[in-house]
Amino acid sequence: MFTEFPEARTTAVTRLRLTRTPGGAVRLRGGGGVFRAMLLARDAHGARVQVVPSRMLLLAGDDVALEISVDAGLRLDLTETGGTIAHDMRGGSASWRTSVEVGAGATFTHHTWPWVSSAGSDVVRHTSVALDVGAKAVLRETLVLGRHGEAPGRLVAHTHVTRDGRPVLAEELHSTDLACADLALAGAVSHRVLDQVMALGPLPVPARSAADVVEGAPTRLDLASGDTLWRSLAQDAHHAAGALDRLFAHLTGEREWSVVDTERAPSVDN
């Protein structure tokens, strides 16, 4: 069951489910909302999918929701076409919710482009991941507080991860936690970028080494659940991107997908 959040306005929900038909074929079902799902590749065990916004995001009054479900034993690699800018909302607000269910023995990977909290924006983000027994997930995320030379907007990001119904991670992050208030007012944020990789489940996590404590290396957080989170705070997005991109590639592994003929094959089965 998807995590339910209180509704403040009409929600534009995009629902995607990767499932296996009675005949054994892998199918992507769903649709709706402000995203179009493009099926890039598919084989007997999973699919690679790209989500494309159908209009400009994120504006005052937007309430965007992405609900994703991966059936047992399958793999879904989800990518995006570009970053998201939370624009100046001139006193308004918006919300963005991502809810993911990963079935028993299934794998979900999500590589997102930078999320930019522009001056004047006011956004609450919810990310919920529910893992069944033996499920795996790798999430890549970059939050940018303000465009270059400007103060950040207001951003509150909630993250909730469970495994087999038991809590793994519960976090509430405020943009003011990352940016020194006096510098933010001056339009110069000391830590504009929070870059991270989250590894959940039985994955090839590198052993701890001296490289983990080298200056400039991402901070490694080993959770009590056995899962791992790597984070970097930086002035610019590119400073930590290289190390975290390599880590994401290592955790997700090289995979050869069968390319789908998008001219003939539908992106999503309704």
Strands, E, within 121-201: which ranges?
122-131, 136-145, 154-163, 166-174, 193-200
Q: What is the CA radius of gyration of the chain?
A: 19
- Residue ranges in the chain whose pLDDT is less than 50: 1-8, 181-189, 261-266
Looking at residue 148, what is its pLDDT?
A: 76
The predicted-structure confidence for 184-231, as pLDDT tens digits, reads as follows 444 444 568 889 999 999 999 988 875 565 666 888 999 999 999 999
- Annotated domain spans of the chain: 13-203+225-252
HSE-up of residue 91 (Cα within 13 Å, Cβ side): 0
Looking at residue 81, what is its pLDDT?
A: 83
Percent of the chain with pLDDT over 90: 62
Of 64, 68, 71, 59, nearest in space to 11 by CA: 64
pTM for this predicted structure: 0.88
Of 109, 31, 38, 103, nearest in space to 74 by CA: 103
Looking at residue 10, what is its pLDDT?
A: 67
Looking at residue 186, what is its pLDDT?
A: 43
Quick check: 144 and 193 in contact, CB under 8 A?
yes
What Å distances lie between residue 207 and 12, 139, 210, 221, 251, CA to CA? 42, 19, 10, 12, 12
